[in-house]
């Protein structure tokens, strides 16, 4: 076993050393870093694009109120949130509210910061590869506010909330041995709007 290890070591010492000039190795490292940075920039592009994507969902929410009081409460709720009633279809038991989505100042600032940081990293890599024009590459960070402008323009758009109200009739409450009226509310809207509606009106989600 000892002899085999010595033979392996001696065979390994006979291999020619890998002599790569430092400047070529430096270029290879920088090129690899540039490639990874560009891949991250592609991911960042799709992240910024997805920030204005409509995330419509449909959810079924259950209320302990009768249909008429619930409708009055819904109208007041959406009126307070700057929505207006646009369509009432009694046959389909459907109501549509429309409002203007307000862009988030926090998200606009956050997008500007992450884009600025990413462009700075890209500029540093490019400035190292081509040091003659390093100021121009570092100036890429000045483009970062364009992400906030893109988000602010695209996020500010009309949005609809579609409601369908169905009365389920009275159900027996075992705890008090009394009947309670229940109303099923089917909501098609932005995911965040559904969460706010469920929380503020204390509705129970039906799977």
Q: Would you place residue 4 in the very low, low, confident or very high pLDDT band (cuts 50, 70, 90)?
A: very low
The reported pTM is: 0.62
Average pLDDT, the chain: 81
* Between 76 and 25, the higher pLDDT residue: 76
- Taken as a whole, the chain contains a residue count of 207
Strand 178-190: give its sheet, edge to edge. 84-89, 94-100, 158-173, 178-190, 56-63, 204-206
What is the pLDDT at residue 113? 94
Tens-place pLDDT, residues 144-197? 999 999 999 888 888 889 999 888 766 655 555 556 778 899 999 888 888 889
Of 63, 12, 40, whose CA–CA distance to 183 is shortest? 63
Interacting residues of 171 by C-beta distance below 8 A, sequence separation 6+? 179, 180, 181, 182
Count CB neighbours of 123 within 10 A: 19
Query: For residue 15, is pLDDT > 70?
Result: no
């Amino acid at each position: 076993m000892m002899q085999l290890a010595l033979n392996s070591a001696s065979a390994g010492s006979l291999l020619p050393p890998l002599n790569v000039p430092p400047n070529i190795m430096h270029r290879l490292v920088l090129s690899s870093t540039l490639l990874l940075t560009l891949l991250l920039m592609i991911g960042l592009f799709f992240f910024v694009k997805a920030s204005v994507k409509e995330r419509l969902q449909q959810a079924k929410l259950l209320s302990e109120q009768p249909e008429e009081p619930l409708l009055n409460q819904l109208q007041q709720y959406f009126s307070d949130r700057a929505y207006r009633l646009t369509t009432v279809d009694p046959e389909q038991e459907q109501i549509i509210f429309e409002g203007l989505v307000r862009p988030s100042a926090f998200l606009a600032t956050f997008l500007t910061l992450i884009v600025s940081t990413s462009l700075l990293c890209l500029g540093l890599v490019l400035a190292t590869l081509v040091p003659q024009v390093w100021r121009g590459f570092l100036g890429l960070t000045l483009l970062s506010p364009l992400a906030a402008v893109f988000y602010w323009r695209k996020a500010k758009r009309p949005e609809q909330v579609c409601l369908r109200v169905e009365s389920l009739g009275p159900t027996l409450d075992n705890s008090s041995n009394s009947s309670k009226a229940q109303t099923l509310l089917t909501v098609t809207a932005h995911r965040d709007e559904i969460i706010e509606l469920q929380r503020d009106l204390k509705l129970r989600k039906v799977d």
